[in-house]
Structure 1
């Protein structure tokens, strides 16, 4: 059946908003449509347009996302106060699960993980967005941090601060220099002019200073805890914080007050509707990744064993000394070309030639 090439599609910005409203990554959309992740990114930025069957599948997926978004908006509209409370979620929210005991025997590992994820992930995505300025990278970093936490769940569950463990891992993933190769195009800035100015100042800070400022003035950690999480000394952490505040106050004098800076960071973080993936999705993704790397390690080990066996099979069983390289021999006279024959040598040569032609005289035996 031939697909119609003129299937209507929403604008590129609306495509991205529909995907983000359902907490889907570009990789997940690409897997459902059957294309590469870079292709989805091109569709959402408007650089390219899907065609043929890919366009039909992409349009159907966006229609499903729009339907789910409308249903979600309808539920949100039933309680306007809840929507206001959600917008007031700050980047400085305490991430320590004070009402959840992860070491309780009443919770299974999956239930404890889901509880930690539900309590920490929304605020952590907003914090990571302030740290990187990229929405997609923020969601991926938080999802990757929780995947690592699930792979090391006994260790994380027994940690005195499981939320701090996940937060530090998410920040490390977000600040990895390898992301420069993946994210080469800038993301759309915030809509508000004051938010754009603050985000621009934050992204111009060195990553250690930005992380220190976010932990101290955003999350609300004290100086020793901030120093411990950033793996720096307390004096170095204090200097980073002072330099970061001075840089922001130089560009935005109205934010020289730490309390006002904290409020503006919270406002900037809550402006974007950044939704995290569902806990079962993160757990299943972690398990798939662990199975993949386990199989890859087994395949590499088998290949290494086979290569070693082949080498031992084809290797010589006795030692053969190598042939010594040639050397120059000195003192041997050079070969001289023969000169003209003398008269006696010429006569001898003629005689030998005649005798060879006639042959030697034949001797006959006689009786005595």
Structure 2
């Protein structure tokens, strides 16, 4: 049995653009697809992908929005200008010579297409054959993953360090993000921005509130050696997670405002307000960084000053595969244990109903049973009287005949 191919969808950024072009909010779009607003936000950011009937309904709605957007663009486009009428080309006649002589130019020589005169010693050469373009060998999934990792991992580790201020957590976040990407590699490989996909996953893991409960991350790490870098890092860490992420994406990575809003799962005005608040907070502690260009340079210097390293791509891939195998085996073991417990319960369970024995209850109003005791004086007199009388009873009268 073969699985039917999934309905194709536009990239996450195109989905958001189509919704904004139709002047729809995420809540309105969620109502039309019969999902929640958080689901639409996750679909537009690329964190999750719709499946099944929800994917088909979402694809049909996006197709309708795209057709409406194309119709609006067609109506608003100016009418095409009429093509200018070509003017007749003047015919230049030779000044001297017969009409059969080719017209030549003193700079460019004889006209193109004119045949050389016989005996001139010049023969038409063979036309050059264009060489075929060199074919690049197709990369295997592992080679493509390694190329993506080597290209973007060092920069992502530095960005994660700006978000967390911890070197080990930054490296671990990027590795876990790439391991997730390797597990879902067909989806990541087809994405228009695979680096953005991995970056969003790494940021989510680095800024997760559960990180503070891990014992290895409770111990503080040594701060940067330079006092200016230390002050800037402290100013960044004083910001909220979303404000810090918006500042790093816009002023550090260099994304524009709509892309920053899409990656942080916020509207464009909300992302702008977060960016302004983050800049004001940093400029309040470091007035020299009020200029965004200076702030961008300082963030780059801070991330480059630390010794941050990334593991080899082969180790990351194998680590992700080991984690996947462990999870699969754990799930299989849990399923087997659950099946065994269920079978044991069914085997040992009673087959008929046995009523429970009710607990004893004291009965009131019934006199207690009295054991025989000594006789009273009246009882003794009655006993003696019965013993003294004849046992045979009174004499019976005999009947007589008259």
Q: TM-score range by the shorter chain?
A: 0.5 to 0.7
Structure 2: gaps spanning 5 or more residues = 1-135, 387-402
- 1:159-215 CA-to-partner distances (Å, cap 9, x unmatched) read 221111110111111112222133112111111111000001001111111111111
- Compute the displacement of 1:351 (Å): 11
- 1:31-79 CA-to-partner distances (Å, cap 9, x unmatched) read xxxxxxxxxxxxxxxxxxxxxxxxxxxxxxxxxxxxxxxxxxxxxxxxx
Correspondent of 1:192 among 212, 221, 226 = 226
**What SS does the aligned partner of 2:303 have?**
helix
Structure 1: gaps spanning 5 or more residues = 1-103, 353-368
Within 5 Å, which residues of 2 pair with 1:298-337?
Answer: 298-324=332-358, 332-335=365-368
Correspondent of 1:142 among 143, 150, 174 = 174
- Name the residue aligned to 1:127: 159
- Compute the displacement of 1:323 (Å): 3.8
- Compute the displacement of 1:309 (Å): 0.7
Measured in 2, the distance between the counterparts of 1:286 and 1:350 equals 109
- Name the residue aligned to 2:207: 175
2:326 is aligned with 1:292? yes
Correspondent of 1:250 among 265, 279, 284 = 284
- Name the residue aligned to 1:87: none
Measured in 2, the distance between the counterparts of 1:278 and 1:203 equals 29
**What SS does the aligned partner of 1:277 have?**
coil
- 1:84-116 CA-to-partner distances (Å, cap 9, x unmatched) read xxxxxxxxxxxxxxxxxxxx9811000110011
Measured in 2, the distance between the counterparts of 1:351 and 1:221 equals 127
**What SS does the aligned partner of 1:156 have?**
helix
- Name the residue aligned to 2:11: none
Measured in 1, the distance between the counterparts of 2:137 and 2:383 equals 118
Measured in 2, the distance between the counterparts of 1:336 and 1:192 equals 100
Which TM-score applies when normalising by structure 1? 0.63
Aligned length: 250
More helix by share: 1
- Compute the displacement of 1:237 (Å): 1.5
Measured in 1, the distance between the counterparts of 2:309 and 2:265 equals 29
- Compute the displacement of 1:347 (Å): 5.3
- Compute the displacement of 1:222 (Å): 1.3
- Compute the displacement of 1:318 (Å): 0.9
- Name the residue aligned to 2:144: 112
Correspondent of 1:215 among 249, 256, 263 = 249
**What SS does the aligned partner of 2:309 have?**
coil
- Compute the displacement of 1:250 (Å): 0.6
2:300 is aligned with 1:266? yes
- Compute the displacement of 1:142 (Å): 0.5
2:265 is aligned with 1:231? yes
2:305 is aligned with 1:277? no
- Compute the displacement of 1:333 (Å): 4.3
Measured in 2, the distance between the counterparts of 1:317 and 1:291 equals 41
Q: Residue 343 and residue 303 in structure 1: after superposition, are their counterparts in 2 closer, same or farther (change >3 A)? A: same
The root-mean-square deviation of aligned C-alpha atoms, in Å, is 2.7
Measured in 2, the distance between the counterparts of 1:212 and 1:349 equals 115
The farther-off stretch of 210-219 and 230-239 is: 230-239
Measured in 1, the distance between the counterparts of 2:383 and 2:347 equals 65
Measured in 2, the distance between the counterparts of 1:173 and 1:198 equals 23
- Name the residue aligned to 1:61: none
- Compute the displacement of 1:342 (Å): 2.8
- Name the residue aligned to 1:69: none
